[in-house]
Structures are given as C-alpha cells and as structure tokens.
Amino acid sequence: MGALDHISDLFSALRTRGRKRKVMQTVEIKVKMDCDGCERKIKSAVSSVKGVRSVEVSRKHSKVTVNGFAEPKKVLEAVKSTGKKKAEFWPYVPYNLVYYPYAPQAYDKKAPPGYVKNAVQAIASPNAPEERLTSLFSDENPNACSVM
C-alpha cells in the first residue's frame, strides 16, 4: 500500500500545482448601521459572496466580521453595494497594543470603547530621546545608571 499512496500523492500534487489555494482569513469592516434592516441587508449581501463561511454583525461597534476564503476587496464591495458608501476596513486596534494611545494620530473620539486608531505615529521610536532616557534609568536595563 505504501507505493500506491506515494503514487496517488504524486498525482494529486501535480493537479494542484497550477492553482493557488486560498487561505482562511478574517476580514473586519467598519460600516455605520442604523437599524435592523441595515444589519440584515449587509449580512445577506456579504453571505452571498463566494467563499464566506460566517458573518458577524455588531451594530454597537459598527463592525462586520467575516470569516472564510473570500477576498477582502470583494467583501468590501459587497458591503458598499448595499448603499453604505462610507464602508472601510476596520481601522482600530485594541487600546493596550499602542504605546501612546492619546497621541493626536491615534486618539479618535468615534472609536469604540477599548480601541484606538491604528496609526504608525502612535508607536514609539526606539531612538526617540524620551525612550532612551526612560531605558537609561530602567530596572530592566543591566547597564542602567544606579544613582538612585
């Protein structure tokens, strides 16, 4: 049986060589929803996209989470086709993942509770003067100054 299994694996590998396999992914979209009708309309439009496995709609956070093998652009187009032209990919990250959550680029009053905008400027640069001074007197730094 070992030889037959090897030959069948060889032929199956030759068949799938030309096609790319799609990866299971999660797509999060920010879209403003006012009523149950909007929620139902968006959920049905997104579920009709080929490759979508599950759709979760959170009206409280204005968020649609889609799991499946669908391309993110096609999911976004499906949401926009319902009449929600201001739909965009989810721009927020959890509050605890950002160094400076109240920086002007990261802080957003419209963000759901516990989230801030995903901004590159919100992450501290390791060469920033305040970061160097902080690490200079840190207990975790073995070469730190021991004046205290």
Q: Across all residues in the chain, what is the average pLDDT?
A: 79
* 114 or 73, greater pLDDT: 73
In the structure, what pLDDT confidence band is assigned to residue 72 with cuts at 50, 70 and 90?
A: very high
Look at the alpha carbons of 23, 28, 34, 35 in this order and tell me if their dihedral is positive or negative: positive
In the structure, what pLDDT confidence band is assigned to residue 91 with cuts at 50, 70 and 90?
A: confident
pLDDT for 118: 77
In the structure, what pLDDT confidence band is assigned to residue 74 with cuts at 50, 70 and 90?
A: very high
Of 81, 107, 84, the closest CA to residue 63 belongs to 84
**pLDDT at residue 141 greater than cutoff 70:** no
Question: Burial letters for 103-128: b for 16+ Cβ neighbours within 10 Å, e otherwise?
Answer: beebeeeebeeebbbbbeebeeeeee
pLDDT in tens, 21-58: 778 899 999 999 989 999 999 999 999 999 999 999 99
pLDDT for 73: 93
Question: Which pTM does this prediction carry?
Answer: 0.64
